[in-house]
Chain A
Amino acid sequence: MFAEFLQFLFSGITLGATYALVGLGFSIIYNASHVINFAQGEFVMLGGMGTVFFLGLGLPMPIAILAAIALTTLFGFGLEKLAIAPARGASVVTLIIITIGASIVMRGLAQVFWGKEFHAVPAFSGDEPINIAGATILPQSLWVLGVTVLLVFALRYFFDKTMMGKAIIATSLNRDAALLMGINVKLVLFISFGLSAALGAIAGILVAPITLTNFEAGIMLGLKGFCAAILGGLGNGMGAVAGGMIVGIAEAMGAGYWVSEYKDAVAFILILLVLFFKPSGLFGKTGTERV
Protein backbone atom coordinates (compact mmCIF):
# COMPACT_ATOMS: atom_id res chain seq x y z
CA MET A 1 0.00 0.00 0.00
CA PHE A 2 2.62 2.47 1.10
CA ALA A 3 5.06 1.09 -1.47
CA GLU A 4 2.48 1.77 -4.16
CA PHE A 5 2.00 5.32 -2.97
CA LEU A 6 5.76 5.83 -2.88
CA GLN A 7 6.02 4.49 -6.42
CA PHE A 8 3.47 7.00 -7.69
CA LEU A 9 5.21 9.74 -5.72
CA PHE A 10 8.59 8.95 -7.31
CA SER A 11 7.20 9.09 -10.80
CA GLY A 12 5.27 12.25 -9.83
CA ILE A 13 8.28 14.19 -8.65
CA THR A 14 10.29 13.10 -11.67
CA LEU A 15 7.59 14.42 -13.98
CA GLY A 16 7.16 17.43 -11.72
CA ALA A 17 10.82 18.37 -11.94
CA THR A 18 10.60 18.31 -15.73
CA TYR A 19 7.47 20.48 -15.72
CA ALA A 20 9.19 22.82 -13.26
CA LEU A 21 12.07 23.40 -15.67
CA VAL A 22 9.69 24.03 -18.54
CA GLY A 23 7.61 26.32 -16.31
CA LEU A 24 10.71 28.27 -15.34
CA GLY A 25 11.39 28.83 -19.02
CA PHE A 26 7.90 30.30 -19.42
CA SER A 27 8.43 32.53 -16.38
CA ILE A 28 11.75 33.95 -17.52
CA ILE A 29 10.43 35.04 -20.91
CA TYR A 30 7.19 36.25 -19.39
CA ASN A 31 9.09 38.37 -16.89
CA ALA A 32 11.28 39.95 -19.49
CA SER A 33 8.62 40.60 -22.10
CA HIS A 34 5.12 39.71 -20.78
CA VAL A 35 5.01 37.25 -23.66
CA ILE A 36 3.88 33.67 -23.08
CA ASN A 37 6.24 31.76 -25.32
CA PHE A 38 4.29 28.88 -26.81
CA ALA A 39 7.43 27.64 -28.51
CA GLN A 40 8.78 26.65 -25.09
CA GLY A 41 7.67 23.05 -25.64
CA GLU A 42 9.56 22.96 -28.93
CA PHE A 43 12.72 23.95 -27.08
CA VAL A 44 12.14 20.86 -24.93
CA MET A 45 11.69 18.74 -28.06
CA LEU A 46 14.79 20.22 -29.70
CA GLY A 47 16.83 19.29 -26.64
CA GLY A 48 15.78 15.65 -26.77
CA MET A 49 15.78 15.26 -30.55
CA GLY A 50 19.01 17.23 -30.85
CA THR A 51 20.71 14.81 -28.50
CA VAL A 52 19.42 11.87 -30.55
CA PHE A 53 20.75 13.54 -33.70
CA PHE A 54 24.21 14.31 -32.31
CA LEU A 55 24.49 10.80 -30.82
CA GLY A 56 23.65 9.51 -34.27
CA LEU A 57 26.61 11.44 -35.65
CA GLY A 58 28.76 9.38 -33.34
CA LEU A 59 29.46 12.05 -30.75
CA PRO A 60 29.96 10.87 -27.17
CA MET A 61 27.01 11.45 -24.83
CA PRO A 62 28.26 14.52 -22.91
CA ILE A 63 29.28 16.29 -26.12
CA ALA A 64 25.99 15.41 -27.80
CA ILE A 65 24.10 16.86 -24.83
CA LEU A 66 26.09 20.10 -24.84
CA ALA A 67 25.67 20.38 -28.61
CA ALA A 68 21.89 19.89 -28.29
CA ILE A 69 21.69 22.57 -25.60
CA ALA A 70 23.76 24.92 -27.75
CA LEU A 71 21.60 24.22 -30.81
CA THR A 72 18.40 24.91 -28.87
CA THR A 73 19.84 28.08 -27.34
CA LEU A 74 20.63 29.26 -30.86
CA PHE A 75 16.99 28.65 -31.78
CA GLY A 76 15.99 30.71 -28.74
CA PHE A 77 18.24 33.58 -29.78
CA GLY A 78 16.99 33.23 -33.35
CA LEU A 79 13.35 33.34 -32.28
CA GLU A 80 13.97 36.61 -30.47
CA LYS A 81 16.15 38.16 -33.15
CA LEU A 82 14.16 37.09 -36.22
CA ALA A 83 10.57 37.01 -34.98
CA ILE A 84 10.12 38.93 -31.73
CA ALA A 85 12.53 41.88 -32.10
CA PRO A 86 11.32 42.89 -35.58
CA ALA A 87 7.76 43.07 -34.20
CA ARG A 88 8.83 45.55 -31.52
CA GLY A 89 5.93 47.74 -30.54
CA ALA A 90 3.34 45.12 -31.49
CA SER A 91 0.85 44.09 -28.82
CA VAL A 92 1.65 41.21 -26.49
CA VAL A 93 -1.11 39.11 -28.09
CA THR A 94 0.56 39.54 -31.48
CA LEU A 95 3.88 38.42 -30.03
CA ILE A 96 2.24 35.37 -28.45
CA ILE A 97 0.74 34.43 -31.82
CA ILE A 98 4.22 34.80 -33.33
CA THR A 99 5.53 32.27 -30.81
CA ILE A 100 2.74 29.86 -31.77
CA GLY A 101 3.78 30.25 -35.39
CA ALA A 102 7.40 29.68 -34.47
CA SER A 103 6.47 26.50 -32.60
CA ILE A 104 4.71 25.13 -35.69
CA VAL A 105 7.75 25.96 -37.83
CA MET A 106 10.14 24.25 -35.40
CA ARG A 107 7.93 21.17 -35.20
CA GLY A 108 7.73 21.08 -38.99
CA LEU A 109 11.48 21.39 -39.40
CA ALA A 110 12.06 18.63 -36.88
CA GLN A 111 9.63 16.39 -38.74
CA VAL A 112 11.31 17.06 -42.09
CA PHE A 113 14.85 16.58 -40.86
CA TRP A 114 14.42 13.92 -38.22
CA GLY A 115 11.26 12.06 -39.26
CA LYS A 116 8.20 11.07 -37.26
CA GLU A 117 9.57 8.09 -35.38
CA PHE A 118 10.01 7.93 -31.66
CA HIS A 119 13.61 7.89 -30.48
CA ALA A 120 15.19 6.81 -27.25
CA VAL A 121 18.11 8.51 -25.59
CA PRO A 122 20.12 6.07 -23.46
CA ALA A 123 19.90 6.70 -19.74
CA PHE A 124 22.88 8.64 -18.37
CA SER A 125 23.92 6.00 -15.86
CA GLY A 126 22.21 2.72 -16.53
CA ASP A 127 18.68 1.34 -16.31
CA GLU A 128 19.06 -0.63 -13.09
CA PRO A 129 16.16 0.48 -10.83
CA ILE A 130 17.04 1.43 -7.28
CA ASN A 131 14.89 -0.12 -4.56
CA ILE A 132 13.62 2.23 -1.84
CA ALA A 133 11.15 0.92 0.75
CA GLY A 134 9.50 -1.43 -1.68
CA ALA A 135 9.24 1.09 -4.50
CA THR A 136 11.73 1.56 -7.30
CA ILE A 137 13.24 4.62 -8.84
CA LEU A 138 15.25 4.82 -12.05
CA PRO A 139 18.73 6.32 -11.89
CA GLN A 140 17.58 8.70 -14.63
CA SER A 141 14.93 10.06 -12.25
CA LEU A 142 17.70 10.98 -9.85
CA TRP A 143 19.43 12.79 -12.69
CA VAL A 144 16.23 14.71 -13.43
CA LEU A 145 15.80 15.70 -9.78
CA GLY A 146 19.45 16.50 -9.13
CA VAL A 147 19.90 18.66 -12.19
CA THR A 148 16.59 20.45 -11.54
CA VAL A 149 17.59 21.30 -7.97
CA LEU A 150 20.96 22.51 -9.19
CA LEU A 151 19.42 24.69 -11.90
CA VAL A 152 16.82 26.15 -9.55
CA PHE A 153 19.57 27.22 -7.15
CA ALA A 154 21.74 28.52 -9.97
CA LEU A 155 18.85 30.61 -11.30
CA ARG A 156 18.05 31.93 -7.85
CA TYR A 157 21.66 32.97 -7.48
CA PHE A 158 21.63 34.59 -10.91
CA PHE A 159 18.50 36.64 -10.24
CA ASP A 160 19.17 37.45 -6.57
CA LYS A 161 22.88 38.10 -6.59
CA THR A 162 24.15 39.19 -9.99
CA MET A 163 23.66 42.62 -11.53
CA MET A 164 22.67 41.05 -14.86
CA GLY A 165 19.92 39.06 -13.12
CA LYS A 166 18.71 42.17 -11.35
CA ALA A 167 18.80 44.07 -14.62
CA ILE A 168 16.44 41.47 -16.11
CA ILE A 169 14.06 41.86 -13.15
CA ALA A 170 14.33 45.66 -13.38
CA THR A 171 13.47 45.50 -17.08
CA SER A 172 10.40 43.41 -16.36
CA LEU A 173 9.29 45.82 -13.62
CA ASN A 174 9.80 49.06 -15.50
CA ARG A 175 11.23 49.13 -18.99
CA ASP A 176 11.67 52.91 -19.20
CA ALA A 177 13.39 53.19 -15.84
CA ALA A 178 15.66 50.29 -16.82
CA LEU A 179 16.68 52.17 -19.97
CA LEU A 180 17.48 55.21 -17.82
CA MET A 181 19.84 53.04 -15.76
CA GLY A 182 21.71 52.23 -18.95
CA ILE A 183 20.35 48.69 -19.15
CA ASN A 184 20.24 47.46 -22.73
CA VAL A 185 16.68 46.13 -22.64
CA LYS A 186 16.96 44.60 -26.12
CA LEU A 187 19.88 42.54 -24.89
CA VAL A 188 17.90 41.52 -21.81
CA LEU A 189 15.14 40.16 -24.03
CA PHE A 190 17.67 38.36 -26.21
CA ILE A 191 19.35 36.76 -23.20
CA SER A 192 16.00 35.75 -21.70
CA PHE A 193 15.01 33.83 -24.82
CA GLY A 194 18.39 32.09 -24.93
CA LEU A 195 18.20 31.20 -21.25
CA SER A 196 14.66 29.85 -21.56
CA ALA A 197 15.61 27.79 -24.59
CA ALA A 198 18.58 26.31 -22.74
CA LEU A 199 16.36 25.41 -19.77
CA GLY A 200 13.80 23.82 -22.06
CA ALA A 201 16.49 21.83 -23.83
CA ILE A 202 17.90 20.54 -20.55
CA ALA A 203 14.42 19.44 -19.46
CA GLY A 204 13.93 17.66 -22.78
CA ILE A 205 17.27 15.88 -22.58
CA LEU A 206 16.78 14.78 -18.98
CA VAL A 207 13.37 13.30 -19.60
CA ALA A 208 14.06 11.77 -23.04
CA PRO A 209 15.51 8.48 -21.68
CA ILE A 210 12.33 8.00 -19.59
CA THR A 211 9.56 9.03 -21.96
CA LEU A 212 11.10 8.70 -25.46
CA THR A 213 11.00 11.67 -27.77
CA ASN A 214 9.79 12.61 -31.24
CA PHE A 215 9.04 15.79 -33.17
CA GLU A 216 5.76 16.28 -31.30
CA ALA A 217 7.08 15.53 -27.81
CA GLY A 218 7.18 19.23 -26.99
CA ILE A 219 3.45 19.84 -27.27
CA MET A 220 2.38 18.02 -24.12
CA LEU A 221 5.49 18.87 -22.13
CA GLY A 222 5.09 22.52 -23.11
CA LEU A 223 1.44 22.60 -22.06
CA LYS A 224 2.17 20.89 -18.74
CA GLY A 225 5.01 23.33 -18.09
CA PHE A 226 2.62 26.14 -18.95
CA CYS A 227 0.17 24.72 -16.37
CA ALA A 228 3.01 24.69 -13.84
CA ALA A 229 3.83 28.33 -14.52
CA ILE A 230 0.18 29.43 -14.31
CA LEU A 231 -0.44 27.34 -11.20
CA GLY A 232 2.48 28.95 -9.40
CA GLY A 233 1.63 32.43 -10.63
CA LEU A 234 3.08 33.52 -13.99
CA GLY A 235 6.44 35.15 -13.61
CA ASN A 236 7.07 33.71 -10.17
CA GLY A 237 10.09 31.40 -10.56
CA MET A 238 9.73 29.49 -7.32
CA GLY A 239 5.99 29.34 -7.96
CA ALA A 240 6.66 27.61 -11.27
CA VAL A 241 8.80 25.03 -9.49
CA ALA A 242 6.08 24.38 -6.90
CA GLY A 243 3.46 24.36 -9.66
CA GLY A 244 5.49 21.82 -11.61
CA MET A 245 5.71 19.53 -8.60
CA ILE A 246 1.99 19.83 -7.93
CA VAL A 247 1.09 19.06 -11.55
CA GLY A 248 3.55 16.15 -11.72
CA ILE A 249 2.47 14.53 -8.48
CA ALA A 250 -1.24 15.06 -9.19
CA GLU A 251 -0.78 13.50 -12.61
CA ALA A 252 1.03 10.45 -11.24
CA MET A 253 -1.53 9.98 -8.46
CA GLY A 254 -4.37 10.43 -10.92
CA ALA A 255 -2.88 7.84 -13.24
CA GLY A 256 -2.18 5.45 -10.38
CA TYR A 257 -5.37 5.62 -8.35
CA TRP A 258 -7.85 6.78 -10.98
CA VAL A 259 -7.63 6.00 -14.71
CA SER A 260 -4.30 6.22 -16.45
CA GLU A 261 -5.98 7.29 -19.72
CA TYR A 262 -6.98 10.56 -18.07
CA LYS A 263 -3.58 11.39 -16.64
CA ASP A 264 -3.12 14.26 -19.08
CA ALA A 265 -6.46 15.70 -18.07
CA VAL A 266 -5.35 16.11 -14.45
CA ALA A 267 -3.05 19.01 -15.23
CA PHE A 268 -5.74 20.80 -17.18
CA ILE A 269 -8.39 20.24 -14.53
CA LEU A 270 -5.96 21.74 -12.00
CA ILE A 271 -5.32 24.76 -14.15
CA LEU A 272 -9.05 25.34 -14.68
CA LEU A 273 -9.64 25.20 -10.93
CA VAL A 274 -6.84 27.68 -10.30
CA LEU A 275 -8.12 30.03 -12.99
CA PHE A 276 -11.63 29.87 -11.53
CA PHE A 277 -10.70 30.39 -7.90
CA LYS A 278 -7.32 32.11 -7.81
CA PRO A 279 -6.49 33.52 -11.25
CA SER A 280 -3.20 35.03 -10.11
CA GLY A 281 -1.92 31.54 -9.29
CA LEU A 282 -1.22 29.89 -5.95
CA PHE A 283 1.82 32.05 -5.24
CA GLY A 284 1.08 34.99 -7.52
CA LYS A 285 0.95 38.52 -6.22
CA THR A 286 -2.44 40.13 -6.32
CA GLY A 287 -0.92 43.35 -7.54
CA THR A 288 -1.17 45.74 -4.63
CA GLU A 289 1.18 48.61 -5.14
CA ARG A 290 1.64 51.87 -3.38
CA VAL A 291 1.42 54.91 -5.60
Chain B
Amino acid sequence: MLKIQNLTSHYGRIQALHGVDLEVNEGELVALVGGNGAGKTTLLRTISGLQDASGGSVSFEGNDITDMVANKRVGLDIAQVPEGRQVFTALSVEDNIRLGAFIQKDKARIATDLEKMYARFPILKEKRNQAAGTLSGGQQQMLAMARALMSRPRLLLLDEPSMGLSPVLVMEIFAIIEELKEQGVTIFLVEQNATAALRVADRGYVMETGKITLTGSGENLLNDETVKAAYLGI
Protein backbone atom coordinates (compact mmCIF):
# COMPACT_ATOMS: atom_id res chain seq x y z
CA MET B 1 0.00 0.00 0.00
CA LEU B 2 2.71 2.44 1.06
CA LYS B 3 6.16 2.00 -0.42
CA ILE B 4 9.10 4.21 0.44
CA GLN B 5 12.30 3.92 -1.55
CA ASN B 6 15.65 5.48 -0.80
CA LEU B 7 13.94 8.52 0.71
CA THR B 8 16.05 11.48 1.79
CA SER B 9 15.05 14.78 3.34
CA HIS B 10 16.89 17.88 4.47
CA TYR B 11 16.31 20.75 6.89
CA GLY B 12 18.37 23.39 5.13
CA ARG B 13 21.79 21.79 4.83
CA ILE B 14 21.22 19.24 7.54
CA GLN B 15 20.20 15.85 6.25
CA ALA B 16 17.54 14.19 8.40
CA LEU B 17 16.73 11.10 6.33
CA HIS B 18 19.55 9.12 4.74
CA GLY B 19 17.86 6.86 2.22
CA VAL B 20 14.96 5.16 3.96
CA ASP B 21 13.34 2.03 2.50
CA LEU B 22 10.12 0.90 4.05
CA GLU B 23 6.87 -0.76 3.14
CA VAL B 24 3.44 -0.96 4.72
CA ASN B 25 0.99 -3.52 3.31
CA GLU B 26 -2.76 -3.19 3.33
CA GLY B 27 -4.31 -4.12 6.67
CA GLU B 28 -0.99 -4.16 8.48
CA LEU B 29 -0.02 -2.38 11.67
CA VAL B 30 3.60 -1.39 11.25
CA ALA B 31 5.58 0.26 14.03
CA LEU B 32 8.60 2.49 13.65
CA VAL B 33 10.67 2.78 16.80
CA GLY B 34 13.86 4.62 17.61
CA GLY B 35 15.36 7.20 19.90
CA ASN B 36 14.97 10.94 19.96
CA GLY B 37 16.16 12.67 16.81
CA ALA B 38 16.35 9.44 14.80
CA GLY B 39 14.21 11.01 12.08
CA LYS B 40 10.95 9.23 12.82
CA THR B 41 8.81 12.35 12.80
CA THR B 42 10.59 13.68 9.71
CA LEU B 43 9.78 10.42 7.91
CA LEU B 44 6.12 10.71 8.86
CA ARG B 45 5.99 14.36 7.81
CA THR B 46 7.52 13.44 4.48
CA ILE B 47 4.86 10.75 3.98
CA SER B 48 2.05 13.21 4.71
CA GLY B 49 3.72 15.93 2.63
CA LEU B 50 4.41 18.48 5.37
CA GLN B 51 8.13 18.02 4.78
CA ASP B 52 9.68 17.99 1.30
CA ALA B 53 11.65 14.98 0.14
CA SER B 54 15.04 15.77 -1.35
CA GLY B 55 15.42 12.42 -3.04
CA GLY B 56 13.89 8.97 -3.38
CA SER B 57 10.19 8.31 -3.59
CA VAL B 58 7.00 7.76 -1.65
CA SER B 59 4.32 5.80 -3.45
CA PHE B 60 0.82 4.99 -2.34
CA GLU B 61 -1.10 2.18 -4.01
CA GLY B 62 1.34 2.23 -6.88
CA ASN B 63 1.15 6.00 -7.52
CA ASP B 64 4.14 8.21 -6.91
CA ILE B 65 3.05 10.89 -4.43
CA THR B 66 6.52 12.25 -3.57
CA ASP B 67 5.74 15.72 -4.93
CA MET B 68 2.02 15.87 -4.19
CA VAL B 69 1.05 18.80 -1.92
CA ALA B 70 0.08 17.83 1.62
CA ASN B 71 -3.55 18.96 1.45
CA LYS B 72 -4.22 16.73 -1.57
CA ARG B 73 -3.04 13.58 0.21
CA VAL B 74 -6.07 13.50 2.51
CA GLY B 75 -8.09 12.85 -0.63
CA LEU B 76 -6.16 9.58 -1.07
CA ASP B 77 -7.46 8.55 2.36
CA ILE B 78 -4.19 9.16 4.18
CA ALA B 79 -4.61 10.82 7.58
CA GLN B 80 -2.01 11.80 10.13
CA VAL B 81 -2.26 12.32 13.87
CA PRO B 82 0.66 14.70 14.28
CA GLU B 83 3.20 14.71 17.07
CA GLY B 84 2.05 16.83 19.99
CA ARG B 85 -1.63 16.56 18.96
CA GLN B 86 -1.70 19.92 17.11
CA VAL B 87 -5.38 20.51 17.78
CA PHE B 88 -6.85 23.90 16.84
CA THR B 89 -6.73 25.32 20.36
CA ALA B 90 -9.06 28.28 19.97
CA LEU B 91 -11.75 26.31 18.12
CA SER B 92 -14.34 24.16 19.86
CA VAL B 93 -13.92 20.41 20.20
CA GLU B 94 -16.73 19.83 17.72
CA ASP B 95 -15.26 22.25 15.17
CA ASN B 96 -11.95 20.41 15.44
CA ILE B 97 -13.63 17.09 14.70
CA ARG B 98 -15.64 18.56 11.84
CA LEU B 99 -12.51 20.02 10.25
CA GLY B 100 -11.26 16.45 10.01
CA ALA B 101 -13.95 15.97 7.37
CA PHE B 102 -13.14 19.26 5.64
CA ILE B 103 -12.86 17.74 2.16
CA GLN B 104 -16.00 15.65 2.69
CA LYS B 105 -19.10 17.15 1.07
CA ASP B 106 -21.66 14.52 2.14
CA LYS B 107 -23.37 16.08 5.17
CA ALA B 108 -25.17 12.89 6.21
CA ARG B 109 -21.89 11.02 6.28
CA ILE B 110 -20.27 13.75 8.39
CA ALA B 111 -23.17 13.61 10.85
CA THR B 112 -22.97 9.81 11.25
CA ASP B 113 -19.20 9.92 11.59
CA LEU B 114 -19.46 12.65 14.20
CA GLU B 115 -21.85 10.50 16.25
CA LYS B 116 -19.49 7.55 15.87
CA MET B 117 -16.62 9.63 17.24
CA TYR B 118 -18.74 10.75 20.19
CA ALA B 119 -19.67 7.14 20.86
CA ARG B 120 -16.03 6.10 20.76
CA PHE B 121 -14.78 9.07 22.78
CA PRO B 122 -17.62 10.05 25.16
CA ILE B 123 -15.44 12.66 26.89
CA LEU B 124 -15.33 14.63 23.63
CA LYS B 125 -19.11 14.70 23.47
CA GLU B 126 -19.23 16.03 27.01
CA LYS B 127 -16.79 18.83 26.10
CA ARG B 128 -17.98 19.40 22.54
CA ASN B 129 -18.49 23.15 22.97
CA GLN B 130 -15.29 23.87 24.88
CA ALA B 131 -12.19 25.28 23.23
CA ALA B 132 -9.86 22.43 22.37
CA GLY B 133 -6.99 24.20 24.16
CA THR B 134 -8.74 23.69 27.50
CA LEU B 135 -8.62 19.88 27.22
CA SER B 136 -6.03 17.80 29.06
CA GLY B 137 -3.22 16.17 27.11
CA GLY B 138 -4.99 12.82 26.97
CA GLN B 139 -8.24 14.40 25.83
CA GLN B 140 -6.39 16.35 23.15
CA GLN B 141 -4.87 13.09 21.93
CA MET B 142 -8.37 11.57 21.68
CA LEU B 143 -9.46 14.68 19.81
CA ALA B 144 -6.54 14.47 17.38
CA MET B 145 -7.45 10.81 16.75
CA ALA B 146 -11.13 11.58 16.24
CA ARG B 147 -10.26 14.43 13.91
CA ALA B 148 -8.05 12.17 11.79
CA LEU B 149 -10.65 9.39 11.72
CA MET B 150 -13.31 11.73 10.37
CA SER B 151 -11.76 11.45 6.92
CA ARG B 152 -12.26 7.65 7.09
CA PRO B 153 -8.60 7.02 6.36
CA ARG B 154 -7.41 3.78 4.85
CA LEU B 155 -3.87 4.62 5.95
CA LEU B 156 -3.51 6.18 9.38
CA LEU B 157 -0.18 7.72 10.38
CA LEU B 158 0.24 8.03 14.12
CA ASP B 159 3.08 10.09 15.57
CA GLU B 160 3.86 9.39 19.23
CA PRO B 161 0.26 8.92 20.34
CA SER B 162 1.36 7.92 23.82
CA MET B 163 3.70 10.85 24.43
CA GLY B 164 3.15 12.57 27.76
CA LEU B 165 0.20 10.41 28.74
CA SER B 166 -0.41 8.50 31.96
CA PRO B 167 -0.06 4.68 31.80
CA VAL B 168 -3.83 4.21 31.94
CA LEU B 169 -4.34 6.55 28.99
CA VAL B 170 -1.51 4.88 27.08
CA MET B 171 -3.33 1.56 27.46
CA GLU B 172 -6.55 3.17 26.30
CA ILE B 173 -4.90 4.69 23.22
CA PHE B 174 -3.32 1.37 22.29
CA ALA B 175 -6.65 -0.41 22.75
CA ILE B 176 -8.14 2.04 20.25
CA ILE B 177 -5.27 1.43 17.84
CA GLU B 178 -5.83 -2.33 17.95
CA GLU B 179 -9.54 -1.83 17.47
CA LEU B 180 -8.91 0.31 14.38
CA LYS B 181 -6.62 -2.36 12.99
CA GLU B 182 -9.37 -4.95 13.42
CA GLN B 183 -11.67 -2.68 11.43
CA GLY B 184 -9.22 -2.93 8.57
CA VAL B 185 -7.43 0.43 8.85
CA THR B 186 -3.80 0.21 7.80
CA ILE B 187 -1.70 1.84 10.49
CA PHE B 188 1.83 3.19 10.51
CA LEU B 189 2.74 3.90 14.11
CA VAL B 190 5.75 5.93 15.21
CA GLU B 191 6.59 5.48 18.87
CA GLN B 192 9.28 5.99 21.46
CA ASN B 193 7.36 3.62 23.68
CA ALA B 194 8.90 0.68 21.81
CA THR B 195 7.52 -2.11 24.00
CA ALA B 196 3.91 -1.06 23.65
CA ALA B 197 4.27 -0.36 19.94
CA LEU B 198 6.03 -3.60 19.02
CA ARG B 199 3.57 -5.63 21.06
CA VAL B 200 0.62 -4.57 18.92
CA ALA B 201 2.53 -4.37 15.63
CA ASP B 202 2.59 -7.00 12.88
CA ARG B 203 5.98 -5.75 11.78
CA GLY B 204 8.43 -3.20 13.02
CA TYR B 205 11.31 -1.06 11.83
CA VAL B 206 14.07 0.36 13.99
CA MET B 207 15.43 3.73 12.96
CA GLU B 208 18.71 5.36 13.93
CA THR B 209 20.17 8.66 12.69
CA GLY B 210 17.95 8.82 9.63
CA LYS B 211 18.38 5.20 8.54
CA ILE B 212 16.48 1.96 9.03
CA THR B 213 18.84 -0.32 10.94
CA LEU B 214 16.66 -3.30 11.70
CA THR B 215 13.38 -4.79 10.61
CA GLY B 216 11.31 -7.85 11.48
CA SER B 217 8.06 -9.00 12.99
CA GLY B 218 6.98 -7.16 16.13
CA GLU B 219 7.66 -10.24 18.20
CA ASN B 220 11.13 -10.83 16.80
CA LEU B 221 12.14 -7.22 17.43
CA LEU B 222 10.82 -7.39 20.98
CA ASN B 223 13.11 -10.35 21.59
CA ASP B 224 16.08 -8.92 19.73
CA GLU B 225 19.04 -8.35 22.06
CA THR B 226 20.17 -5.06 20.52
CA VAL B 227 16.64 -3.68 20.52
CA LYS B 228 16.17 -4.76 24.10
CA ALA B 229 19.37 -3.06 25.15
CA ALA B 230 18.82 0.15 23.20
CA TYR B 231 15.09 0.83 23.39
CA LEU B 232 13.34 -1.44 25.84
CA GLY B 233 15.56 -0.79 28.79
CA ILE B 234 15.83 -4.49 29.59
Contact = CB atoms under 8 A, between A and B. Distances in A.
A88 to B, nearest CB: 12
Interface in A173-188: 173-174, 176-185
Contacts, number: 74
Contacts of B71: 179, 181-185
Contacts of A178: 88, 99
6 contacts: A174-B87, A179-B49, A179-B69, A180-B82, A181-B71, A182-B72
Given A174-B86, A176-B86, A290-B135, A182 B91 contact: no
Contact of B79 (A170, A180, A185, A289): A180
A181 B95 CA distance: 12
B151 A169 contact: no
A204 to B, nearest CB: 31
B15 interface: no
Contact of A289 (B72, B74, B82, B89): B89
A269 to B, nearest CB: 31
Interface of B: 48-50, 69-72, 74-75, 79-80, 82, 86-91, 95, 98-100, 102-103, 133-137, 147-148, 151
A173 B85 CA distance: 13
Given A183-B71, A290-B134, A167 B86 contact: no
A116 interface: no
Given A169-B91, A173-B89, A181 B137 contact: no
Contact of A181 (B49, B50, B89, B147): B147
Contacts of A169: 88, 90-91
A166 interface: yes
A167 B135 contact: no
Contacts of A182: 71-72, 74-75, 102-103, 151
Interface string A129-172: 00000000000000000000000000000000001001101100
Given A166-B99, A181-B99, A182-B102, A176 B88 contact: no
Interface in A277-291: 289-291
Contact of B70 (A163, A174, A179, A291): A179
B95 A166 contact: yes
B50 A176 contact: yes
Contacts of B137: 290-291
Contact of B48 (A167, A173, A180, A290): A180
